[in-house]
Amino acid sequence: MAKSWVNSAERIGADLHLELSGSGGRRAALIDALRAAVRSGRLAPGTRLPPYRSLAADLGVARNTVADAYAELVAEGWLTARQGSGTRVAERARPLRAQPVRHAVKGPVTAPPRARAPRHDLRQGTPDASAFPRAAWLASYRRALQQAPDEVFGPGDPAGRVELREALTEYLARVRGVRTAPDRIVICSGFAHGLRLLFGQGGGGPLRGPLAVESYGLGFHRELLRTAGVRTVPLPVDEHGARVEELTKERAVLLTPAHQFPTGGPLHAERRTAVIDWARAQGGVVLEDDYDGEFRYDRKPVGALQGLDPERVILLGSVSKSLSPALRLGWMVLPERYVEGVLTAKGEREAWASVLDQLSLADLIVSGSYDRHVRRMRQRYRSRRDRLVAALAARAPHIEVTGVAAGLHAVLRLPPGTERSALKAATWQGVALDGLAAFRHPEAETAATADQDGLVVGYATPSEAAFGAALEALCEVLPPDGSAECLPPDERSHSPART
């Protein structure tokens, strides 16, 4: 192919020289030429590129060839496309300086360019670390330390400190509708620890597999269960939660009834009663992951499933979302028949959760500081949720946002086939987030949601000061409307039909 000069001074302010060469086709050659121009600095950040029709005419190629090349470079993060602004060189696509690497024989070589470390963390799973109630926690810790009996500094009870179990009994009954007693609660270091105690390593816990799980969930939990020798059987998920009517001969099922993770939405009322009926008929048990039940915004509170039948439901909770995962404090609310087996699996002494932290959390709850903190964070996270929804409505109205009535994350439904390119663009733009496909059970069959693309956006992690910039960066990496072709926004209305 010959060298080509593109004279589009009225649009970009200067001539654009591109050399199309190679045997991979014109689309590949154009992508390589534009990428090289950006990488070398010849196309500076913020430079507006010609409309794809003009560039196609100057180069003598099809308009779809230019449109596809622009779309690929937008997905990779080299370019950005926005309604009314055209296609521009991304602000972060600055030339990368090669770093010399010492080699034992051949001398200095050039290190390949790498994607930047994330500047904006929009991954799900963690609260705003800057909002930890340090003053309230310190006050509770001091009171707990001053009032602690001498026995606290000896070997710990594997069930956990009775002060915390009593505080949790009252709190969970008041806030989540849980029916229990202190001797039915076992303190653990979090949800994953609770699973290990229930199933043990190689079947050492009181429960056995197979275990039915929702077709969307944390792969870390599935891997933990697999390591323990437990086979997980996926249940399809739709807008009403897990389809529990498809439970068969399993003896246990793991659910997120208050707010399905990660797709969002509570388990429908009819399904809540149906899964209890199933557990009674099968002699089985329901594991209830109550991971963010306190954070509800646009709906009436959904009580814990455990309240329907305390002898058929094991509730697992923690302070990982409400306070911090660094505290390593969680709890299991158990049917009577499982208490002894869990304590046996845990051992004769408390080996996981700090006794002083347990006493501090008990004081935080009893003093009312925990309630005040949760209410304050509920307001903050609701405000962030509203800002996210408003930003998407203004910048990407074609993107459907779901799962926002509660919790600390939202799901952005993407056009089919765009999830991977959006994640790739996010990486290059310094935005850390998760794709919906990463949470899908590997054995899940194609169902109502199984073939949909999406992004799981956690809006709790950034600090207040950083959240605005994180939202701006997120909007930059979303696929434009009509992104099956990913046409530049200023040209979308004139898109020709594909042949």
Buried b (16+ CB within 10 A) or exposed e, 468-490: eebbebbbbbbbbeebeebbbbb
pLDDT bin (cut points 50, 70, 90) of residue 228 is: confident
pLDDT for 126: 87
Short-list 171, 182, 246, CA closest to 213: 246
Give tens-digit pLDDT for 411-450. 999 988 889 999 998 988 899 999 999 999 988 875 444 4
330-333/313-318 β-pairing: antiparallel
Name the CATH code of domain 3-96 (choices 3.40.50.2030, 1.10.3720.10, 1.10.10.10, 3.30.1490.100).
Answer: 1.10.10.10
Lookup: tokens for 133: 């109630």
Percentage of the chain lying above the pLDDT 90 cut: 49
Q: Tally the residues of the chain.
A: 499
pLDDT bin (cut points 50, 70, 90) of residue 203 is: low
pLDDT bin (cut points 50, 70, 90) of residue 3 is: very low
Helix (H), strand (E) counts: the chain: 14, 21
The reported pTM is 0.73
Lookup: tokens for 39: 């990488």
Reply yes or no on whether the pLDDT at 254 is more than 50.
Answer: yes
Lowest model confidence (mean pLDDT) among 83-97, 228-242, 300-314, 390-404: 83-97
DSSP of 291-303, one letter per residue? SSTT-B-SS----
pLDDT for 95: 42
Identify the DSSP state of 352: S
Residue 374 corresponds to which amino acid?
V
pLDDT for 423: 92
Percentage of the chain lying above the pLDDT 70 cut: 84
Give tens-digit pLDDT for 99-125. 443 434 344 444 444 445 578 999 988
Domain at 133-367: CATH architecture: 3-Layer(aba) Sandwich (3.40)
pLDDT for 12: 42
Q: What residue segments make up the domains of the chain, in order of their start?
A: 3-96, 120-128+372-477, 133-367
pLDDT bin (cut points 50, 70, 90) of residue 209 is: confident
Q: How far apart are CA 85 and CA 474, in angstroms?
A: 17
Contact assessment for residue 257 and residue 241, using Cβ atoms and an 8 Å cutoff? yes
237-238/232-235 β-pairing: unpaired
Contact assessment for residue 343 and residue 149, using Cβ atoms and an 8 Å cutoff? no
Spelled out in words, what is the top-level CATH class assigned to the domain 120-128+372-477? alpha beta
Q: How far apart are CA 197 and CA 188, in angstroms?
A: 9
109-110/100-101 β-pairing: antiparallel
pLDDT for 359: 96
Reply yes or no on whether the pLDDT at 451 is more than 50.
Answer: yes
Reply yes or no on whether the pLDDT at 242 is more than 50.
Answer: yes
